[in-house]
Structure 1
Amino acid sequence: MTIFDNIKIIAKKRGMNLKTVAQKSGLGENAIYRWKNETPRIDSLNKVAKTLNVKVSEITGEDETKNKPSKVDILDDEVILAFDGMEIPEEDKEKLLDYARYVMEQRKQGKRGRIR
């Protein structure tokens, strides 16, 4: 698959269209569409990857061995949508994900104490 195809698939999984991804990434609204025929700059790919919360290698197809969604993807897409009936802002979702990653890293290192 092409970079364009990969971005389109990932964006759809995240509930975004390509125009929205481009805008959130600080790119022109048709920038990603141009990547059908042009090679994107690495700084633009980094911005898109950050917006989609993926590694650049997933966009470029270098990470094809990842066939199943990670637990963080499931957490991000399915669970952290609302709390106490209120939608959680995007920046707060990222903080929650960072904390979840921290807790899981502590568990991997054998630090199984209570979470504070």
Structure 2
Amino acid sequence: MYTVKIIKALAKEKNMSVYELEEQLGFGKNTIYQWSHRTPSVERVRKVADFFGVSLDYLLGRTPEKKINEIDLANIPDGVLTFEGKVIPDDELAIIRHLLRSKSSK
């Protein structure tokens, strides 16, 4: 699986072996290498992605971008965001922004 190659490269960037990574994440020995011929659980792949600070899509070889695309709600024009396929109305978006701002100031 291509994912194993990506993990090996990420580990090398951090000057660690895949075995050290497995130990740090609480995986058994050779767990990651087994992903070459077995499908890993989403939870385990997520743990690796979180450890390296990369997106799941990067780890799975679906995108060349390592970082998760961040969207700053404060910079999004009104009426562009959707939830479950429906545009979030301006008044509700204003409430969401207010809640998030008040939470971050605490």
TM-score (norm 1): 0.52
Listed one character per residue, the Cα deviations across residues 72-97 of structure 1 (whole Å, up to 9, x for unaligned) are: xxxxxxxxxxxxxxxxxxxxxxxxxx
User: After superposition, what is the alpha-carbon deviation per residue over 1:22-79, rounded to whole angstroms, capped at 9, x for unaligned?
Assistant: 1111211210010111111100001111222222111101122x3xx87xxxxxxxxx
Conserved 8 A contact 1:3-1:61: yes
Structure 1 residue 5 displacement after superposition: 0.7
Task: Quote the sequence identity (%).
Answer: 28
Aligned length: 71
Which residue of structure 2 aligns with residue 47 of structure 1?
47
Other-structure match for 2:28: 28
Write the distance in 2 (CA, Å) between the matches of 1:29 and 1:35: 12
Q: CA RMSD in A?
A: 2.4
Tell me, which stretches of 5 or more residues in structure 2 are unaligned?
Answer: 76-106
Rounded Cα–Cα distance in structure 1 between residues aligned with 2:21 and 2:13: 12
Q: How far apart, in 2, do the equivalents of 1:61 and 1:47 lie?
A: 16
* Superimposed CA distance per residue, residues 1-23 of structure 1 (whole angstroms, 9 cap, x where no aligned partner): 70111111111111111011111
Provide the C-alpha distance between the structure 1 equivalents of 2:23 and 2:29, rounded to a whole number of angstroms: 6
Which structure 2 residues correspond to residues 5-84 of structure 1 after superposition, within 5 A? 5-64=5-64, 66=65
Give the number of the structure whose alpha-carbon radius of gyration is greater.
2
Query: With structure 2 as the length reference, what TM-score do the two structures score?
Result: 0.57
For structure 1, list consecutive stretches of 5 or more residues without a partner in the other structure.
71-104, 110-116
